[in-house]
Structure 1
Amino acid sequence: MPIFPEENDFLSLFESEPMLYDSTSNSLPFYYNEATYKFSNGEEAFIVKLSPSNGEVKIQVTQLSSNRLLSLLNLKRVEKFEITADKKDRAGVLLTVVNEDSQQTIEIDFKPYFKLILKEHLTR
Structure 2
Amino acid sequence: MRDFPEENDFLSLFECEPKLFDSNTKDLPFYYNQATYQFSNEEENFVVTVSPSYGDVKIQVTQPNSDRLLSLLELKRVEKFEITADKRDFSSVLLTVINEDSQQTIEIDFKPRFKLIFKEHFTL
- 2:79 — aligned with what? 79
Whether the aligned pair in 2 keeps the contact of 1:77 and 1:98 (CA below 8 Å) is yes
Q: Where do 5+ consecutive residues of structure 2 fail to align?
A: none
CA distance in 2, matches of 1:10, 1:26: 19
- 1:109 — aligned with what? 109
- 2:26 — aligned with what? 26
* Identity across matched positions, percent: 75
Secondary structure, aligned partner of 1:95: strand
Secondary structure, aligned partner of 1:120: strand
CA distance in 1, matches of 2:121, 2:65: 36
CA distance in 2, matches of 1:122, 1:65: 40
Whether the aligned pair in 2 keeps the contact of 1:98 and 1:104 (CA below 8 Å) is yes
Whether the aligned pair in 2 keeps the contact of 1:19 and 1:37 (CA below 8 Å) is yes
Q: Across the two proteins, how many residue pairs are aligned to each other?
A: 124
Runs of 4+ aligned structure 1 residues displaced above 3 Å come to none
Secondary structure, aligned partner of 1:113: coil
TM-score norm. by structure 2 comes to 0.99
Does 2:42 align with 1:42? Answer: yes
Encode CA deviations 1:61-118: one digit per residue, 9 max, x unaligned.
0011321100000000000000001000001000000001000000000000000000
- 1:54 — aligned with what? 54
CA distance in 2, matches of 1:27, 1:6: 16
Secondary structure, aligned partner of 1:25: coil
Secondary structure, aligned partner of 2:53: helix
TM-score norm. by structure 1 comes to 0.99
- 1:70 — aligned with what? 70
Secondary structure, aligned partner of 1:74: strand
CA distance in 1, matches of 2:25, 2:65: 38
Whether the aligned pair in 2 keeps the contact of 1:43 and 1:65 (CA below 8 Å) is no
CA RMSD, 1 decimal? 0.5
1:61 is matched by which residue type in structure 2?
A: V
